[in-house]
Amino acid sequence: MVSIPEYYEGKNVLLTGATGFLGKVLLEKLLRSCPKVNSVYVLVRQKAGQTPQERVEEVISGKLFDRLRDENPDFREKVIAINSELTQPKLALSEEDEEIIIDSINIIFHCAATVRFNENLRDAVQLNVIATRQLILLAQQMKNLEVFMHVSTAYAYCNRKHIDEVVYPPPVDPKKLIDSLEWMDDGLVNDITPKLIGDRPNTYIYTKALAEYVVQQEGAKLNVAIVRPSIVGASWKEPFPGWIDNFNGPSGLFIAAGKGILRTMRASNSALADLVPVDVVVNTSLAAAWYSGVNRPRNVMVYNCTTGSTNPFHWGEVGKKWSDLFSKRSMSWFPPRSPHVLSICLNSSCPNTAFDAQMMKTITRLHKAMVFLEYFTSNSWVWNTDNVNMLMNQLNPEDKKTFNIDVRQLHWAEYIENYCMGTKKYVLNEEMSGLPAARKHLNKLRNIRYGFNTILVILIWRIFIARSQMARNIWYFVVSLCYKFLSYFRASSTMRY
């Protein structure tokens, strides 16, 4: 078979979600590793006063594209921004743009979606289901389309413990749900949402399952492939180790732990932390489109892009690595659904907020993020990865290096360290030379927390416990013992000097 770069040579690619985390990494990798691709059309809507062209220019001017700029300075000529709104009929394309797309596109990568876990159902359906349907309808008109590549999520069927690489029946008929949402008011939609999503934790996962069914049914005449990544994290190797540009998922937790704001979290030590590097997801997507384009399989090809079954890593191990990284400070892990509000107060919120009022808003956001993540940090799933293994075996030796999808080679300790450093460098835009100052800041927060906890314990003892003579005797004994210990320690220090 032709190699992956050879397959993309001369092809015209349509990409949605190019301004999102996964989409921009895919755009960079495609242009860098398949330099003879003809053009990449990106569907982008106008936002915050920026034209689609300005938004794309902002993306390709970022640090992510530094390596590509060095290797191929003329890559910008291949990126064509098209004004589009995915939720509108016919994607709100102009007649001219629609004609160009129908006549020229060979491969579609559909990465656009709302990834907000707390999105209301109407908007989630609009962005994840209806938009996908609109794109499928456009794809059916394309004269030279070879592959429709859809990015889903490995948690689309998280109501099952064992998940195969197939599209399962949807929880509800997408067409009936779309029709119902047209006449329902927002209040009614919010009332029925919990009953509709059932044993799925949020509207994001629920609507991604519906979108897969739409792709399978309405794209039946198309050559379709679906990639399902689990928790997408920072890059493993490309274009730089640890590259990340957002606070989503574990990234916000890493940042909070590194800043000394977060020290407690609900998680099960034995639950699989099914993180998958973003460059592995991108390489899988590019390879999957290549395989479907070359082999024309009869059925929809589904790829569970996960790590738990191949290279397992547990949340308990993540916590240990955090402790090793952040000045040997321990991270407290509480069993799922445990009442650890007091621990949160003692270890994060109260001590820090007392000295920095700006932290309160950050802590509130962190608490919400932990609530959303709890479902994934306290449960484990088994994903079948036969198709991914088959795909890996189909790659020639050079493609295996260039488009590496073998997560067995992933060294977790090194990856987590690069991930944490990446959040500092690429998300917070902090210089690595500032690490000594950061450590001093962590020590300061630690001392504040210890002091706060000590005062709190004293107050609780004096107010609620020291009501009897025996309790007071114990109290005076402990204080006396501490005083003698400190005096001995001070005398010993003086003698050493």
313-322: pLDDT as tens digits: 998 888 787 7
pLDDT at 237: 95
Mention every residue, 6+ apart, whose C-beta is less than 8 A from residue 183: none
- Name the more confident of 311 and 474: 311
Cα separation values, 232 from 118, 160, 307, Å: 18, 20, 11
Under 8 Å CB-to-CB from 61, ≥6 apart: which residues? none
In eight-state DSSP terms, residue 362 is H
Please tell me the distance from the alpha carbon of residue 229 to that of residue 26, in angstroms, as a whole number: 14
* Residues 143-162, mean pLDDT to the nearest whole number: 95
Model confidence at 338: pLDDT above 50: no
What's the pLDDT at 118? 83
Whole-angstrom Cα distance, residue 86 to residue 88? 6
Q: What is the mean pLDDT of residues 70-98?
A: 92
**What is the rounded CA–CA span in Å between residue 465 and residue 44?**
64
Q: What is the pLDDT of residues 352-374, one digit of tens each?
A: 444 455 556 666 667 777 777 88
Mean pLDDT within 241-248:
89
Mean pLDDT of 119-126: 92
Q: Exposure of 473 by Cβ count < 10 A (0-12 exposed, 13-18 middle, 19+ buried)? A: exposed
pLDDT of residue 105: 97
HSE-up of residue 356 (Cα within 13 Å, Cβ side): 17
Instruction: Determine the Cα–Cα distance for residues 238 and 24; give it in Å rounded to an integer.
Output: 12
Lowest mean pLDDT among 144-148, 190-194, 371-375, 442-446: 442-446
Across the range 410-427, mean pLDDT stands at 90
Return the pLDDT at 447. Answer: 60
Residue 438, pLDDT score: 53
* 8 A C-beta contact, residue 410 and residue 311: yes
pLDDT(343) > 50: no
End-to-end CA distance of the chain: 75
Nearest to 207 by CA among 113, 134, 139: 113
For 64-80, what is the mean pLDDT? 93
- The answer to whether residue 137 scores a pLDDT higher than 50 is yes
Q: What is the pLDDT of residue 354?
A: 46
46-67 mean pLDDT: 91
3-state helix, strand, coil in the chain (%, to 5): 55, 10, 35
Average pLDDT over residues 194-199: 90
**What is the domain partition of the chain in residue ranges?**
4-237+273-312+380-412, 466-497
Question: DSSP H helical segments within 329-434, as ranges?
Answer: 341-344, 350-355, 359-377, 386-394, 397-402, 412-422
| pLDDT for position 469 | 66
**CA distances, 85 to each of 26, 207, 337 (Å):** 20, 19, 40
Residues 167 and 179: their CA atoms lie apart, in Å, by: 23
The proportion of the chain whose per-residue pLDDT surpasses 70, expressed as a percent, equals 79
Nearest alpha carbon to residue 205 among 287, 121, 286, 264: 121
- Of 299, 277, 157, the C-alpha closest to 222 is 299
Range among 179-193, 427-441, 478-492 with highest mean pLDDT value: 179-193
pLDDT of residue 458: 66
Cα–Cα distance for residue pair 257/323, rounded to 1 Å = 9
Residue 107's pLDDT band (cuts 50, 70, 90): very high
- Residues 304, 320: Cα–Cα separation, whole Å: 27
Mean pLDDT to the nearest integer, 240-246: 91
User: Using 50, 70 and 90 to split pLDDT, how confident is the model at 459?
Assistant: low
| CB distance 260 to 445 below 8 Å | yes
Task: Check whether the bond before 239 is cis (ω within 30° of 0).
Answer: yes
Q: What is the pLDDT of residue 20?
A: 93
Q: What is the mean pLDDT of the chain?
A: 84
The reported pLDDT for the residue numbered 430 is: 79
Confirm if 87 and 102 have CB atoms less than 8 A apart. Answer: no
* pLDDT score of 327 more than 60: no
- Contact call for residues 435 and 325 (beta carbons, < 8 A): no
User: Which of 303, 277, 289, 310 shows the shortest CA–CA distance to 388?
Assistant: 303
The distance from CA 405 to its chain's CA centroid, rounded to whole angstroms, is 18
Backbone φ/ψ region at 92: left (φ over 0), alpha (ψ -120 to 50), beta: left
Average pLDDT over residues 75-88: 93
pLDDT at 486 over 70: no
User: DSSP strand E in 27-152: where?
Assistant: 39-44, 79-83, 107-110, 147-151
The overall pTM is greater than 0.75: yes
- Report the SS3 class of residue 226: strand
What's residue 1's pLDDT? 78
- The neighbour count for residue 259, using CB atoms within 10 Å, is 19
Q: What are 14-33's pLDDT values in tens digits? A: 999 999 999 999 999 999 99
pLDDT at residue 440, rounded to an integer: 61
Q: Does the pLDDT at position 497 exceed 50?
A: no
- We find that the CATH architecture of domain 4-237+273-312+380-412 is 3-Layer(aba) Sandwich (3.40)
The phi, psi pair for 225, rounded to 5°, reads: -135, 145
Kindly state the tokens that stand for 443. Answer: 């020590």
Residue 483 pLDDT greater than 70, yes or no: no
Residue 109 CA to residue 69 CA, distance in Å, equals 23
Q: Give percent above pLDDT 90 in the chain.
A: 59
Under 8 Å between Cβ of 39 and 80: yes
pLDDT in tens, 248-262: 878 877 777 777 677
